[in-house]
Structure 1
Amino acid sequence: MRARRHALSAMLFCVAAMTACAAAAEPPTFQEATRQLETDAGSLLGAGELGLSAVRRADDDTCVPGQVRHFFQAESDLADASAGLLARLRDMGYDEVVDDLDLRDEGQEVSVFRNPTTRVTFELTVISEDTPGIRVVGKTVCYAPE
């Protein structure tokens, strides 16, 4: 009888733990992801040492037909600000998923960071050609209309 009680308790604990993990893994809504992208973008823009200025913020439909995503784009003419951007994104909970060795292009170095919780992605491109600088593009994943 005692063993059954412990087995039942253990089983209920496992079910509760699995439910909690499943609930935490649900992706954010479009509005939640957009809000987080704007908050994180605002943090990057507010860092004066990075010299970023917003170029564009919008929802776009470049996803599959019927889906939408939100994006943010900023630029800086301070090519040496890339280390500060990388550190700041890491501090905000972003993981580097692609580095410039994977996406290197002539005269450009690219790094991609993704927040595993919000699924927001930031792409940093360091341009070292004619006019050196940095381009930062943040975006949500594509969402079906709610």
Structure 2
Amino acid sequence: AQDIFRPEKLNLALILSLLAGIFDFVPIVGPLLAGLVITFIVALTSVFQALFVLIALVIIQILEGNLVLPLLFKKFVGMPPALVLIALAIGGKLWGILGAILVIPLAGIIFEILRDYLEKQRQREEKERDVTIL
């Protein structure tokens, strides 16, 4: 069992990827902490590789935060991606990490209530038009 943890037996990229994935579950600070830890570990081997890893992590986080997550929220919560980004920015600014965690479900609830209200309002207006026409 001790042979498994010898440096030549470890696949460092796999372990660091798993670490990044685990840290990614912590909103806002998780990816930052993962990036710092991973960059530090890689820098022990090569500063050039550490710079490459840091740039790759930043690009991945930008794509995930600004493209992938809003599209997923749109698909599963039904909110437009722009509204998701605005809600995250406001929730994070007002209440920090807790706000960023709680703002999407809260915004989803408010969005559904407003959507339902507007749909009922539209149906009432259609009924009134139908009655007026008759």
Fold conserved between structures, TM > 0.5: no
Shorter-normalised TM-score: what interval? under 0.3
TM-score by length of 2: 0.27
Structure with a larger share of its residues in strand: 1
Structure with a larger share of its residues in helix: 2
Larger Rg: 2
Higher normalized contact order (CA 8 Å, seq sep 6+, divided by chain length): 1
TM-score by length of 1: 0.25
